[in-house]
Copies of this chain bind each other. A is one copy, B any other.
Amino acid sequence: MAGSSFGNIFKITTWGESHGKGIGVVVDGVPAGVELSEADLQPFLNRRKPGQSRFSTPRSEDDQVEILSGVFEGKTTGTPISLVVYNKTQRSSDYSEIASYYRPGHADYTFDMKYGFRDYRGGGRSSGRETTARVAAGAIAIKVLNSLGIEVHAYTKAIGDVEISEDNFNPEEIFNNMLYMPDADAAKRAEKLIDEKRSQTDSVGGVVECVVTGLMSGVGEPVFEKLNANLAKAIVSIGAVKAFEIGDGVKAARAFGSENNDAFKADEDGNIVKETNHSGGVLGGISDGSALLLRAYFKPTPSIYKTQNTVNKKGENITINIKGRHDPIIVPRAVVVVESMTAITVLDLLLVSMTSNIEKIKQFFDR
Task: Choose one: B2, B78, B104, B124; the contact of A264 (CB below 8 Å).
Answer: B104
Task: Choose one: B114, B242, B256, B355; the contact of A351 (CB below 8 Å).
Answer: B355
Contacts of A298 in B (CB 8 A): 252-253
Contact call B119/A72, Cβ cutoff below 8 A: yes
Contact call B256/A252, Cβ cutoff below 8 A: no
Contact call B253/A32, Cβ cutoff below 8 A: no
Taking the full assembly, how many copies of this chain does it contain?
4
Contacts of A56 in B (CB 8 A): none
Interface size class, chain A: 35 or more
* B-contacting 9-mer, from A44-52, A175-183, A220-228: A220-228
Contacts of A286 in B (CB 8 A): 107, 110-111, 113-114
The verdict on A2 contacting B31 (CB below 8 Å), with A237-B223, A286-B110 known, is no
Contacts of A234 in B (CB 8 A): 229
Contact call A104/B149, Cβ cutoff below 8 A: no
Task: Choose one: B222, B242, B279; the contact of A245 (CB below 8 Å).
Answer: B242
A164 within 8 A of B: no
A135 to chain B, nearest CB (A): 13
A342 within 8 A of B: no
Contacts of A356 in B (CB 8 A): 1, 31-32, 78, 114-115
Contact call A236/B228, Cβ cutoff below 8 A: yes
A76 to chain B, nearest CB (A): 8
In the bound complex, CA of A112 to CA of B14 (Å): 29
In the complex, chain A residues 318-367 whose Cβ is within 8 Å of any chain B Cβ: 351-362, 364-365, 367
Contact call A354/B358, Cβ cutoff below 8 A: no
Contact call B288/A82, Cβ cutoff below 8 A: no
Contact call B272/A311, Cβ cutoff below 8 A: yes
In the bound complex, CA of A1 to CA of B227 (Å): 12
Contacts of A362 in B (CB 8 A): 147-148
A9 within 8 A of B: yes
Contact call A217/B68, Cβ cutoff below 8 A: no
A26 within 8 A of B: yes
In the bound complex, CA of A78 to CA of B83 (Å): 21
Contact call B242/A109, Cβ cutoff below 8 A: no
In the bound complex, CA of A6 to CA of B226 (Å): 11
Contact call A243/B242, Cβ cutoff below 8 A: no
Contacts of A248 in B (CB 8 A): 242, 299
Closest 8 CB pairs of A and B: A107-B284, A3-B221, A3-B225, A203-B257, A2-B11, A2-B29, A32-B115, A233-B233
